[in-house]
Structure 1
Amino acid sequence: MINFKLPKIKDDGYIALISLLIISAVSLSIAIAVSLRGIEDLQMSFAKSSGLRAEGAAESCIEEGVFRLKKNWANYSATLSINSDSCIINATVNGNSADLEAYGTAGIFTQKILMQIDNNFEVTNWQKN
């Protein structure tokens, strides 16, 4: 009877291959985490920029309201467009004082400013919300 021996399969490279797969998975996880952090930073930067644009629009409306009150001490309301942003100003005169309320909008962000002035145009109250 003839006895055949099958060749033995060498498994020397399996440990190296598994190590490579583990290192690749860890590297990929780190790369994804860094990418997500970068996206989060971009979103925060965009939100801050849009918030500042909304605040600038509201301040522009407040300035417009004071300018209009200097010309005519009477109630005033308007909507202004500033590039792609907008604002709404409401000025209400109460005898010797006036209340100004402005809403600046940039995209989905809105900034509100409340201001009170007297008839000498001195600011008696200023609030940002």
Structure 2
Amino acid sequence: MKKNKEQLNNQQGYIILVSVLVISAIAVAITISLIFLGLGASRSSLAYQQSAQAKNLANACVNQALLEIAESDFTGSASLDFENGSCTYLVTNLGGINRDIRGEAVVNNVTRRVKVLIDQINPVNITSWQEVVSF
């Protein structure tokens, strides 16, 4: 009789031990999944932030080009350096007073490009302002 009781207690002990191990394994799997989801969200957020910064820098370069065009009928290229990235712009004379302005900015490995067309210099008249994938 004592043997049966001991065997029953041993079986219950094994059942509890296996249950604890299974629950622990599930908890560890859930924790690891949540960590990876958090890392993925952080990376996406950083990429989005860098993309927005690059777009703002590209627009800043185009605005600088527009100021130079209004002041001195500028054509050519220049670049601007900022704390978080850099941008370049190119102004091309399309004939007469029409100009093609291309601004490109890079923040880390994220590049954004803006193309602007104007058909009047003073005052500047913008006919097109588009973000483009490539020039």
Tell me if both proteins adopt one fold, taking TM over 0.5 as the criterion.
yes
Q: Could you tell me the TM-score, scaled by structure 2's length?
A: 0.86
Q: 2 CA distance for matches of 1:73 and 1:106?
A: 29
Deviation of the 1:93 alpha carbon: 1.6
Q: Could you tell me the TM-score, scaled by structure 1's length?
A: 0.89
Q: 2 CA distance for matches of 1:91 and 1:80?
A: 14
Matches within 5 A, 1:50-89: 50-89=50-89
Structure 1 segments (4+ residues) deviating >6 Å: none
Between the two proteins, the alignment pairs up a number of residues equal to 123
| Higher deviation after alignment, 8-17 or 52-61 | 8-17
Percent sequence identity over matched residues? 25
Whose helix proportion is higher, 1 or 2? Answer: 2
For residues 3-25 of structure 1, give each alpha carbon's deviation from its aligned partner in whole angstroms, at most 9, with x where no partner exists. Answer: xxxx7864230000000000000
User: Which letter does structure 1 place at the counterpart of 2:49?
Assistant: S
Q: Within the alignment, does 1:123 sit opposite 2:130 as a pair? A: no
Any unmatched runs of 5+ in structure 1?
1-6
Q: Secondary structure at the match of 1:113?
A: strand
Say what the alpha-carbon RMSD is for the aligned residues.
1.4
Q: Secondary structure at the match of 1:13?
A: helix
Rg larger in structure: 1
